[in-house]
Amino acid sequence: METAIRVDNLIKVFTNDQGELDVLQDLSFSIASQEFVCLIGPSGCGKTTLLRVLAGLLPPSDGEVFYPGRQTQNNIYRVGFVFQNANLMPWRTVIENVLLPLELEYRSSADNRRRAVSMLELVGLAGFEKTYPGDLSGGMAQRVAIARALINEPEVLYLDEPFGALDALTRERMGSELIRIWQAKPVTVVMVTHSISEAILLSDRVLVLSKRPAQLKLDLPISFPRPRTLDLKHTKTFGSLAGEIRRAIQV
């Protein structure tokens, strides 16, 4: 398996008026190309910070992030980012929101519009192109955010608790939709979640971080075959994986 991202002794320290805040402490791990990895850890431990460093939005304080598929060290992948809130612009229609990343790169064309329409189909929102965000449910808004993150055809998709604000049933549906999208597009996924069962159901691997400063507590492969169903939750193996993750979070 080709390595998409390799993190070596990564350290992140924020400096402000009050002094220094150690957030990421000596993290080392690799993520394979087209792997689906979930990050889990206590609130405030540095998960969002880690995603931002991996995506190249923040520089490391020390250590390195390599993208072995790329020639030079800082030549990062095309990335898509989905935030906890959909962060849609309320004055733009659904399709105008999806097209925004391309407009910011001055890449407006009729072809882009066709691409945006097909992304909206992919996330199950065909027919909602001209709707405004105010008329969407939370789950629909988050689908638009996923379509917007995919419009650039990212090689790595970062999702920061994308379903945190949704009710349990919508959340389960969005999880399986995300798997469908991931299987339809060749993309590496790194997703932060607070839900242990969501992490086990969706991912190939769960990385558990300690409380701040975040260290890697557990690197747990999830080898259930796909397609997976919700019934997995009632199996013994699922229970023992969940227990292992819970214990790692608590220590």
Ligand X SMILES: Nc1ncnc2c1ncn2[C@@H]1O[C@H](COP(=O)(O)OP(=O)(O)OP(=O)(O)O)[C@@H](O)[C@H]1O
- State the Cα–Cα distance between residues 120 and 3, nearest whole angstrom: 30
Q: Which stretch binds ligand X (CB under 6 A): 15-23, 169-177, 220-228, 241-249?
A: 15-23
Considering CB distances under 5 to 8 angstroms, the limit depending on partner class, which of Mg ion, ligand X, none binds residue 159?
Answer: none
- State the Cα–Cα distance between residues 57 and 204, nearest whole angstrom: 25
Tell me: does residue 142 bind Mg ion (CB under 5 A): no
Q: Which stretch binds ligand X (CB under 6 A): 1-9, 47-55, 126-134, 229-237?
A: 47-55
Query: Torsion-angle region of residue 234: left (phi > 0), alpha (psi -120 to 50) or beta?
Result: alpha
Query: Torsion-angle region of residue 179: left (phi > 0), alpha (psi -120 to 50) or beta?
Result: alpha
Comparing CB distances to Mg ion, the nearer of 40 and 116 is: 40
CA dihedral 85, 66, 198, 12 (to 10 degrees): -60
- State the Cα–Cα distance between residues 37 and 191, nearest whole angstrom: 6
Cross-strand bridge partners of residue 65:
7
Of 25, 34, 41, 48, the one binding Mg ion (CB under 5 A) is 48
Contacts (CB under 6 A) with ligand X, residues 180-239: 212
Q: Which stretch binds ligand X (CB under 6 A): 44-52, 85-93, 138-146, 199-207?
A: 44-52
Comparing CB distances to ligand X, the nearer of 12 and 115 is: 12
Contacts (CB under 6 A) with ligand X, residues 49-88: 49
- State the Cα–Cα distance between residues 110 and 104, nearest whole angstrom: 16
Give the footprint of ligand X on this chain (CB under 6 A): 14, 16, 21, 23, 43-49, 212
Give the footprint of Mg ion on this chain (CB under 5 A): 48
